[in-house]
């Protein structure tokens, strides 16, 4: 578990991707393909939230056991008001954030 500068556990960790990494290039390429025009990418960060990842894995396993999962995962890009970022990173997506993008 990542820790802050005081040594406290951090439930959400933001990892800046190196522009030379394959993960960075994959994300930039998928993002650019999702738009009508090219945009200047300044940085790419991976959000790591162990709690939400565990919830995701449990739900995915349940869908697989129930026979409802058939390789239907999608990677999406989501725009929102900057005020919502911390809440989304810690609690996940919520429909109440819908429509609040700039």
- Reference 1, options 71, 45, 53; nearest CA is 53
- 9 CB burial (10 A radius; 0-12, 13-18, 19+): exposed
d(CA 53, CA 100): 25
pLDDT, tens digit (0-9, with 9 covering 90-100), for 32-63: 998 888 788 999 999 999 889 999 999 888 88
Task: Give this prediction's pTM.
Answer: 0.71
49 Rama class: left (phi>0) / alpha (psi -120 to 50) / beta: beta
pLDDT at 36: 81
pLDDT at 24 over 90: yes
pLDDT at 23 over 90: yes
């Amino acid at each position: 578990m990542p820790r802050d500068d005081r040594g406290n556990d951090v439930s959400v960790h933001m990892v800046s991707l190196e522009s030379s990494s394959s993960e960075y290039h994959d994300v930039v390429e998928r993002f650019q393909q999702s738009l009508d025009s090219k945009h200047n990418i300044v940085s790419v960060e991976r959000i790591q939230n162990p709690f939400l990842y565990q919830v995701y894995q449990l739900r995915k396993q349940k869908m697989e056991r129930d026979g409802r999962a058939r390789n239907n995962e999608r990677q999406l890009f989501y725009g929102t008001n900057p005020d919502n970022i911390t809440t989304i990173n810690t609690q996940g997506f919520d429909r109440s954030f819908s429509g609040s993008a700039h």
